[in-house]
Chains A and B, each alone.
Chain A
Amino acid sequence: MAGPLRIVHYLNQFFGQLGGEEAAGAAPQARDGAIGPGLAIVKLLEQRRCESGELAAEVVGTVICGDNYFIETPTAGDEVFALIAPYRPRLLIAGPAFNAGRYGIACAAVCKMIGDKLGIPAVTGMHEENPGVDMYRRDVVIVRSGASARAMLPTMERMLTVALKLVRGEALAPARLEGTFAQGRVRNELAAETGARRAVAMLLAKLRGETPTTELELPRFEKVRPAPAIVDLTTATIALVTDGGLVPLGNPDGIESISATKFGVYDIGGAERLEASRYESVHRGYDVRYVNADPQRLLPVDVLRELERDKRIGRLHPRFYSTTGVATTLRNSRALGAAMAERLRSEGVQAVILTST
């Protein structure tokens, strides 16, 4: 490689020293060299060069854009790109944005754009609650940071470590070791120690007051807004939906017995009950013998028919919806749910009883 590694740094109005919230509408602008947090990059690069002979690198330019401008202006991305490209960078660093939501989204969007268009490594950093994480973690290397700018130096240090690995073409370590947000690739590996040894060591660390390095991130689910109550059940069409895997014998739609990607819609006409001779469950996550012996144990068609006859409900929808809920990805679950809801609504269904195993 000829000459030092050329780095461009992306900042918002605040860290780019244009001003606070009042300058959030500032249009993109470029400055040669490093500004603000960019000085930390310069300092850390210098340290690394002294200590370990790290390759020579310099921050050749800083591109600054107001957060509101970036979010609200459709052409903002193109404008930022037009300022970055002429510097002929081989690495882009954006932020870190900590817990600043608009800034985080802008940093990640700029990283994705630069990665896509210039094919160079692009790294940003933010706090786990920054919305930029969920929006971009699959596409962009995002280093974990604290919530506030007090963590600037250690965050920048980790961002540089990751960025320089990418520049050298090295593989990154698993996300929890690298301090990044996982990008959605998972694979089994052999750890150095057995699970038992890791568990007891983790417990002792926790008892000493240390922060344990969990091997499994816990999910954060979005809030679901409940639909309004049904005012008059006696006129409502109610459908039965299940994730218990009930399908006509032979599984005509090939619903997967685990990790489903589709659901089936099955006509029950005016049947009084679901006959065991005609249905089966293909779910692989529970013992299906009981449901196969009497499908009403999963889909209570018999009881809903009673309620229909007694005029307690308007009618039972003549089709049931079914999939298997076992090791189904959240992404697929959301997609299946949305598709089911849309179709149920188009078929005139007002309410659903979803039975789950």
Chain B
Amino acid sequence: MTPVAKTVGSPRIVPAAGIVHPLGNAQATPEAEQKLRRDIIRRALQALQADVTESTVFPAQS
């Protein structure tokens, strides 16, 4: 959960798709789910390449 990650000071935070399936969506089609997963990981890779000085959230579609 983003607020918890922020509270504890995680340096690079990517909001994901929810507690019970952070990298998925049981309601979506397998294709849509795969796309969701790709999007989140792409943001994670962007975050890894970003210089940050404090806890930073990388929101969707950045």
Closest chain-A Cβ to B48's Cβ sits at a distance in Å of: 5
Known: A294-B24, A355-B23. A226 touches B34 (CB 8 A): no
- Name A297's closest neighbour in chain B (CB-CB): B24
Give residues of chain A (244-303) contacting chain B, Cβ–Cβ below 8 Å.
244, 286-291, 293-294, 296-300, 302-303
- Name A287's closest neighbour in chain B (CB-CB): B20
Contact A233 B21 (CB under 8 A): no
Contact B37 A302 (CB under 8 A): yes
Interface core residue of A227, A297, A312 (most chain B CB under 10 Å): A297
Contact B20 A233 (CB under 8 A): no
C-alpha spacing A114/B8, complex, angstroms: 35
C-alpha spacing A313/B49, complex, angstroms: 12
Q: Is B53 an interface position by the 8 A CB rule?
A: yes
Residues of A near B52 (CB, < 8 A) are 226, 229
Contact A304 B41 (CB under 8 A): yes
Q: Is A161 an interface position by the 8 A CB rule?
A: no
What is the 8 Å Cβ interface bit string for chain B, positions 27-62, against chain A (1 contact, 0 not)?
A: 000000110011011001100111111111000000
- Name B50's closest neighbour in chain A (CB-CB): A229
Give residues of chain A (221-239) contacting chain B, Cβ–Cβ below 8 Å.
221-231, 233, 236, 238
Q: Which residues of A contact B (CB under 8 A)?
A: 219, 221-231, 233, 236, 238, 244, 286-291, 293-294, 296-300, 302-304, 306-307, 312-313, 351, 353, 355-357
Task: In the A-B complex, list the 5 residue pairs whose CB atoms are closest, starting with the nearest.
Answer: A297-B24, A226-B11, A297-B21, A224-B9, A290-B21
